[in-house]
């Protein structure tokens, strides 16, 4: 993988592009060679979609298509560079001068620069631009010819403006004719980054091109965002005029629109190449890129190949979050790489035994979605990061739940298609849950969710303290053991815990059960983030289990086998939360203990 792939720079040569669009560059090049002139082609697309890369590939192909007889004189022009340092007021003039300078430096003119006709045309056009520039600067008018021809009394005539425009076109036409020795020769002027200057200035520049430089044998290829030009029209003419005339006005300036083929991007190959893997058609797998291990590297693992199905996960996550925009994808991969470095630094510096380990494919698959989620939907990620848990992750598959979250209104206002975004969010959560569903049973346990929480902690993506349900049970066991007279009676504790943790227990499969330490004497028990009871432990009574609710209601809801094991302690003082006590030690000794606990579980749900 070349070092430049993760740098936010455009592709320079077609052999370096990984999106599979060189075919489109070739087609566009052949159209430029064969079309009638004058013509203006607009390469359209959003910011970061790859317009500059397309210009670069077309320029390369045009240069390669030149022959001894036919010349394609190509000028590349970046408008954003000419809008810096308070030069935007005179942007049109600066660009005209820049075009003139670029023409004089054309490599393709080396053999004809001594041509007197060309030398005269260059000198004449340069003189005209200088004269016009003096007027522009004097009147502080940009390329507004009305101001440029304004006399001392502040009046002007339409005839003066028409004459100036005609003079400009005549001079430029002479220059182009001097360049095109063969009638198949072309002057191709590529204009880039129009979407990075003020919309009204971008519009004025397009108008200037149409008015002054629209001459035979000349082709303009513009990288332009349609929405930017429409914004310029609103600023200059008002919203009503833009709504009525905007489309036709744009079509008049841009005769041939070429929309960037983002729908055809080979996102899978592009994403994986950024992550450090190139596709091998012969093997139909992705091979780890050799030789740049220090630079690559989001997926630097021991694995040497990745199947297409394995790579599909990264592609799906990318498209659901940051989409198909190459610049956004590079940003996501770079951010994921940064987070990976944070995680590995945490592992190296950790003093806990056994926490230092190598980066694995499993780690890569856990972290990458988190980085994409944070970049694509920061408001949603803030909500999730405050209290990461499997219940919150699962609930984000529900449209109704999402719409009620704080910050979602802001998020949905920012996107083009709110319904599609909501669908992408639920699709993303579904992909992520499927990833951690290790046994494929369609439900997620606390143990399966734990790697996500641990990764968020290690990457500093959450300030929540990680204990995890496994550690919670261990802590609860330690608390009970401290109050037991016979410290060796660990089997009894295991039987009690099995009532909750067995695969046959509804308390385990609900995926919403959690323990929360409440001090030295008891642990709160929550279900779907709601407190439902507690475990308590004292020296006189080391294992106590309580449920919140009304005893009479519980007594009616549970079955006959369960009723003897519950009692009303609402009037008695005790550690822990709950007015119904279940004799958990006796239940654990019963052969049908899990069925008794499942009856209590059903009653608990109905109480909630």
DSSP letter string, 217-270? TEEEEEEE-HHHHHHHHHHHH-HHHHHHHHHHHHHHH-SEEEE--GGG--HHHH
440: left (phi > 0), else alpha (psi -120 to 50), else beta?
left
Q: Is the peptide bond before 38 cis (omega within 30 degrees of 0)?
A: yes
The upper half-sphere exposure of residue 482, i.e. CA atoms within 13 Å in the direction of its Cβ, equals: 12
Residue 141 has pLDDT above 60, yes or no: no
Residue 468 has pLDDT above 70, yes or no: no
Cβ neighbourhood burial of 572 (10 Å; 0-12, 13-18, 19+): exposed
Residue 144 has pLDDT above 50, yes or no: no
Give every strand in the sheet of 544-547, ordered side by side: 513-517, 522-527, 530-536, 544-547, 580-582, 566-568
Higher pLDDT, 416 or 295: 416
Model confidence at 544, in pLDDT bands (50, 70, 90)?
Answer: very high
Q: What is the C-alpha separation between 441 and 89, in angstroms, rounded?
A: 65
| Identity of the highest mean pLDDT range in 115-124, 178-187, 249-258, 375-384 | 375-384
| Identity of the highest mean pLDDT range in 72-81, 421-430, 443-452, 466-475 | 421-430
Closest by alpha carbon to 269, among 568, 546, 541, 1?
1
Residue 424 has pLDDT above 90, yes or no: yes
Question: What is the DSSP annotation of 307-319?
Answer: EHHHHHHHHHHHH
Model confidence at 374, in pLDDT bands (50, 70, 90)?
Answer: very high
pLDDT score of 596: 95
DSSP H/E element including 536: strand 530-536
Model confidence at 411, in pLDDT bands (50, 70, 90)?
Answer: very high
Higher pLDDT, 470 or 473: 473
Model confidence at 425, in pLDDT bands (50, 70, 90)?
Answer: very high
Q: What are phi and psi of 285, to 5 degrees?
A: -140, 175
What's the token pair of residue 500? 């909750």
* Percent with pLDDT over 90 in the chain: 23
In tens, the pLDDT along 227-242 reads 777 777 787 777 776 6
Evaluated on CA atoms 545, 549, 552, 555, the torsion sign reads negative
Q: What is the C-alpha separation between 497 and 512, in angstroms, rounded?
A: 16
Residue 292 has pLDDT above 90, yes or no: no
Q: What are phi and psi of 503, to 5 degrees?
A: -60, -20
DSSP H/E element including 189: strand 186-192
Report the predicted TM-score, pTM, of the whole model to 2 decimal places. 0.64
Distances (CA, A) of 114 to 110, 118, 119, 249: 8, 8, 7, 41
CATH 3.20.20.450 fits 21-263, yes or no: no
When pLDDT is averaged across residues 262-267 and rounded to a whole number, the result is 80
Model confidence at 149, in pLDDT bands (50, 70, 90)?
Answer: very low
pLDDT score of 30: 93
Place of tokens 């006399």: 151
pLDDT score of 291: 61
pLDDT score of 52: 86
In tens, the pLDDT along 81-117 reads 666 555 555 566 666 777 777 777 776 566 555 566 6
User: Contact at 8 Å (CB) between 514 and 389?
Assistant: yes
pLDDT score of 145: 44
CA dihedral 433, 434, 440, 444 (to 10 degrees): 0
Residue 447 has pLDDT above 80, yes or no: no
* Percent with pLDDT over 70 in the chain: 78
Residue-range domain boundaries for the chain = 21-263, 267-458, 468-607
Model confidence at 280, in pLDDT bands (50, 70, 90)?
Answer: confident
Q: What is the C-alpha separation between 28 and 258, in angstroms, rounded?
A: 8
Higher pLDDT, 568 or 178: 568
| Identity of the highest mean pLDDT range in 78-87, 162-171, 510-519 | 510-519
pLDDT score of 69: 80
């Amino acid at each position: 993988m070349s070092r430049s792939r993760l740098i936010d720079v455009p592709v320079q040569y077609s052999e370096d592009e990984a999106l599979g669009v060189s075919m489109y560059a070739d087609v566009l090049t052949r159209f430029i060679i064969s079309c009638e002139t004058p013509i203006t082609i607009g390469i359209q697309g959003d910011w970061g979609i790859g317009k500059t890369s397309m210009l670069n590939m077309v320029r390369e192909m045009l240069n390669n298509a030149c022959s001894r007889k036919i010349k394609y004189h190509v000028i590349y022009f970046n408008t954003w560079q000419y809008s810096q340092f308070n030069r935007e007021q005179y942007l049109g003039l600066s660009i005209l001068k820049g075009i003139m300078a670029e023409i004089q430096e054309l490599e393709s003119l080396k053999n004809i620069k001594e041509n007197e006709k060309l030398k005269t045309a260059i000198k004449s056009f340069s003189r005209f631009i200088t004269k016009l520039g003096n007027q522009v600067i004097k009147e502080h008018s940009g390329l507004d010819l009305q101001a440029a021809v304004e006399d001392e009394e502040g009046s002007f005539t339409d005839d003066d403006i028409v004459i100036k425009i005609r003079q400009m076109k005549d001079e430029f036409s002479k220059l182009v004719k001097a360049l095109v020795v063969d009638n198949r020769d072309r002057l191709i002027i590529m204009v880039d980054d129009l979407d990075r200057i003020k919309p009204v200035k971008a519009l004025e520049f397009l108008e200037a091109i149409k008015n002054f430089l629209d001459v035979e044998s000349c082709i303009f290829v513009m990288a332009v965002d349609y929405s930017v030009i429409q914004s310029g029209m609103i600023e200059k003419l008002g919203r009503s005029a833009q709504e009525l005339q905007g489309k036709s006005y744009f079509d008049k300036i841009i005769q041939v629109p070429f929309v960037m083929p983002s729908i055809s991007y080979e996102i899978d190959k592009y994403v994986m190449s950024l992550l450090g893997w190139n596709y091998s058609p012969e093997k139909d797998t992705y091979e780890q890129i050799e030789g740049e291990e220090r630079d690559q590297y989001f997926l630097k693992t021991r694995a040497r190949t990745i199947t297409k199905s394995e790579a599909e996960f990264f592609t799906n996550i990318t498209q659901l979050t940051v989409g198909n925009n190459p610049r956004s994808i590079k940003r996501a991969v770079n951010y994921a790489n940064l987070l990976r470095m944070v995680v590995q630094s945490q592992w190296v510096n950790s003093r806990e035994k056994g926490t230092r380990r190598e980066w694995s494919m499993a780690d890569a698959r856990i972290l990458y979605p988190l980085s994409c989620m944070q970049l694509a939907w920061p408001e949603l990620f803030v909500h999730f990061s405050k209290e990461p848990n499997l219940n919150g992750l699962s609930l984000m598959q529900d449209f109704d739940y999402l719409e009620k979250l704080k910050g979602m209104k802001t998020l949905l206002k920012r996107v083009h298609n709110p319904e599609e975004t909501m669908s992408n969010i639920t699709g993303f959560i579904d992909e992520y849950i499927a990833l951690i569903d290790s046994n494929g049973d369609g439900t997620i346990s606390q143990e399966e969710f734990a790697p996500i929480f641990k990764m968020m902690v290690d990457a500093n993506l959450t300030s929540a303290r990680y204990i995890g349900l496994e550690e919670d049970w261990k802590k609860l066991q330690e608390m009970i053991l401290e109050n037991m007279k016979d410290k060796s009676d660990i089997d009894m504790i295991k039987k009690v815990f099995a009532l909750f943790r067995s695969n046959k227990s509804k308390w385990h499969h609900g995926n919403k059960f959690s323990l929360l330490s409440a001090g030295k004497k008891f642990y709160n028990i929550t279900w779907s983030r709601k407190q439902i009871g507690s475990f308590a432990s004292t020296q006189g009574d080391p294992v106590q289990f309580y449920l919140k609710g009304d005893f009479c209601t519980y007594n009616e809801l549970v079955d006959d086998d369960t009723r003897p094991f519950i009692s009303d302690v609402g009037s008695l003082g005790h550690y822990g939360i709950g007015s119904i006590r279940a004799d958990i030690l006796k239940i654990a000794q019963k052969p049908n203990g899990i069925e008794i606990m499942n009856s209590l579980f059903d009653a608990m749900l109905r109480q909630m």
